[in-house]
A = this chain, B = another copy of it.
Amino acid sequence: MHFKSLKSEKLSEKVIKEFEEMIEKGALKPGDKLPSERDLSQQMGISRGILREALRTLESKGYINRKPGGGTYIRELTYSQNTGQKLINALKHATYLDLLEIREILEQKIVELAVERATDEDILEMEKILEHCQNANEYDPKMDHAFHLSIASATKNALMANFMAANLELIKDITTRTHNNPNRLKEMINEHKKIMDAIKARNAEKAQKALLEHLHNVRKAIEKSFEETEEKEDAKN
């Protein structure tokens, strides 16, 4: 059973969304001046305090500019402010295959860099995590991610690790589904071990090969999962 939340949205949250929508839709364009808080609150039928809560949030998000005595203006979003938001948005709406494609590209290089740059401590950390994985008797995405991230961290490129983390997080639900059987779980652990061994042996070529095999299986599982979903969709119609 699943009941939808009955919690009423706070007034100021509604106001925030209202403004954000208007900005997204272009009803409010950069440079536009908003009515004064006193006018606006009356027009919207809310108190000035509530309106100000919303405006504060919008300001904090970078949507508006306010100047005492001056007024409130829709902000000219600079290119850079935009890209961060756009990236987050793109991440949210990326398809599994887009995510996987980038992961394949990056992680292939990541293992190569890891072989080069990993310290003995890094290797030890990886092994510790791998051991945890091997002792688990059901798939835990955190464990899976931890392993891949320990490799990414060994590249000493913090951005790389963080991007991998975001990427993994976004395919978590599907990998959790596809690994929800003992066979695939065991396979995964073996694949991890192969990667680990190759990195430990400082054999980049072997590590890449092991990783590609692993990612190939992940991709197969995802694509298979898609087909099954489609079949279900078809069955509905």
Residues of chain A whose beta carbon lies under 8 Å from any beta carbon of chain B: 10, 12-13, 16, 49, 52-54, 56-57, 60-61, 79-80, 83-84, 86-94, 98-99, 101-102, 105-106, 109, 142, 157-163, 165-166, 169-170, 172
Contacts and interface: CB of A to CB of B under 8 A. Distances in A.
30 contacts: A13-B60, A49-B49, A52-B53, A53-B53, A54-B56, A56-B56, A56-B57, A57-B57, A60-B61, A83-B162, A83-B166, A83-B169, A84-B88, A86-B165, A86-B166, A87-B88, A87-B91, A87-B162, A87-B163, A87-B165, A87-B166, A88-B88, A89-B162, A90-B158, A90-B159, A91-B159, A91-B162, A93-B158, A94-B159, A102-B163
A90 to B, nearest CB: 4
A89 B158 CA distance: 10
A55 B48 CA distance: 17
A45 to B, nearest CB: 19
Given A13-B60, A90-B161, A105-B105, 17 more contacts: A10-B56, A16-B60, A49-B49, A56-B56, A56-B57, A57-B57, A60-B60, A83-B162, A83-B169, A87-B87, A90-B163, A91-B159, A93-B158, A98-B157, A98-B160, A101-B160, A102-B159
